[in-house]
Amino acid sequence: MNATTLNRTDRTFRAGPVSRIEQRKPTVSNGRDAVGTALAPRLLGPVFLPGDEGYDAERTAYNLAVEQRPAILVGASGAADVMAAVAFATERGMPVGVLNTGHGASVVADDAMLINTRRMQGVHVDPYRRIARIEAGARWQRVIHEAAPFGLAPLSGSSPGVGVVGYTLGGGLGPLGRAFGYAADHVRTIDVVTAHGALRQVSPGQYADLFWALRGGKGNFGVVTSMEIDLFPVARIYGGGLYFRGSAAPAVLTAYRRWVKTVPDEMTSSVGLVRFPWHSDIPEQLRGRFVVHVRIAYHGSAADGEALVRPLRDVTLMLRDSVADMPYTAVGAIHDDPIEAVPLYERTAYLEDIDEDAADAFAHLAGPDSNCPLRLVELRQLGGALGRQPEVPNAVGNRQAAFLLYLAGVSTPGADVERYADAIMTRMAAWDTGAVSLNFLGANEASPERVRAAYSGADYRRLVAVKRAYDPENVFRINHNIPPDAVVGR
Ligand X SMILES: Cc1cc2nc3c(=O)[nH]c(=O)nc-3n(C[C@H](O)[C@H](O)[C@H](O)COP(=O)(O)OP(=O)(O)OC[C@H]3O[C@@H](n4cnc5c(N)ncnc54)[C@H](O)[C@@H]3O)c2cc1C
- Decide whether 265 or 337 has the Cβ nearer to ligand X: 337
Which member of 110, 209, 337, 418 binds ligand X (CB under 6 A)? 337
Contact window for ligand X (CB under 6 A) among 4-12, 104-112, 229-237, 265-273: 104-112
CB of 167 to ligand X, least distance (A): 4
Which of 162, 158, 160, 166 minimizes the C-alpha distance to 146?
160
Site track 350-389 with ligand X (rule: CB under 6 A), x = hit = ----------------------------------------
* Contacting residue, 75, 154, 160, 174, with ligand X by CB under 6 A: 174
C-beta separation of 225 from 165 below 8 A: no
User: Which one among 46, 70, 171, 367 touches ligand X, defined by CB under 6 A?
Assistant: 171
Q: In whole angstroms, how close is the CB of 380 to ligand X at the nearest point?
A: 8
The rounded distance, in Å, linking the Cα atoms of 264 and 426 is: 31
Q: How far is it, in rounded angstroms, from Cα 453 to Cα 272?
A: 24
**Nearest CA to 226 among 137, 359, 289, 157?**
137
- Termini Cα distance of the chain: 44
- Which range touches ligand X (CB under 6 A), out of 100-108, 317-325, 365-373, 456-464? 100-108
d(CA 426, CA 434): 12
Q: Which of 94, 125, 143, 169 binds ligand X (CB under 6 A)?
A: 169
State residue 108 phi and psi, 5-degree precision: -70, 150
CB 378 within 8 A of CB 405: yes
Q: In angstroms, what is the minimal distance from the CB of 29 to ligand X?
A: 30
Report yes or no: 437 and 454 within 8 Å, Cβ to Cβ. Answer: yes
Pick from 95, 157, 240, 484 the residue near ligand X by CB under 6 A.
Answer: 157
Residue 189 sits in the site that holds ligand X (CB under 6 A): no
Non-local (6+) Cβ contacts of 446 within 8 A are 105, 106, 107, 480, 481
Q: Which residue is nearest to ligand X (CB)?
A: 166
Q: How far is the CB of 405 from ligand X (least distance, A)?
A: 14
Q: Which of 485, 469, 486 is nearest to 221 (CA)?
A: 469
Q: How many residues bind ligand X (CB under 6 A)?
A: 35
348 touches ligand X (CB under 6 A): no
Nearer to ligand X, 76 or 125 (CB): 76
d(CA 335, CA 271): 10
Using CA atoms, how far residue 278 sits from 247, 354, 410, in Å, is: 19, 31, 14
Instruction: For the CB of residue 312, give the shortest distance to ligand X in the complex, in Å.
Output: 20
From 10, 122, 80, 361, select the one nearest 223 (Cα to Cα). Answer: 80
Note whether 296 binds ligand X by CB under 6 A: no
Give, as ranges, the residues between 393 and 452 that touch ligand X (CB under 6 A): 439
Q: Pattern of binders to ligand X over 202-231, x per CB under 6 A?
A: ----------------xx---xx-------
Return phi, psi of residue 155, to 5°: -90, 65
Instruction: Tell me if residue 67 falls in helix, strand or coil.
Output: coil
Confirm if 72 and 35 have CB atoms less than 8 A apart.
Answer: yes
Q: Near ligand X by CB under 6 A, which window of 99-107, 270-278, 310-318, 324-332?
A: 99-107
Q: Which of residues 34-93 bind ligand X (CB under 6 A)?
A: 62-63
Report if residue 173 touches ligand X, rule: CB under 6 A: yes
Q: Choose one: 165-173, 320-328, 367-375, 417-425; the region binding ligand X (CB under 6 A).
A: 165-173
Residue 433: C-alpha distances to residues 177, 268, 402, 456 (Å): 20, 21, 10, 12
Q: Which residues bind ligand X (CB under 6 A)?
A: 62-63, 97-106, 117, 136, 157-159, 162-163, 165-167, 169-174, 218-219, 223-224, 337, 439, 479
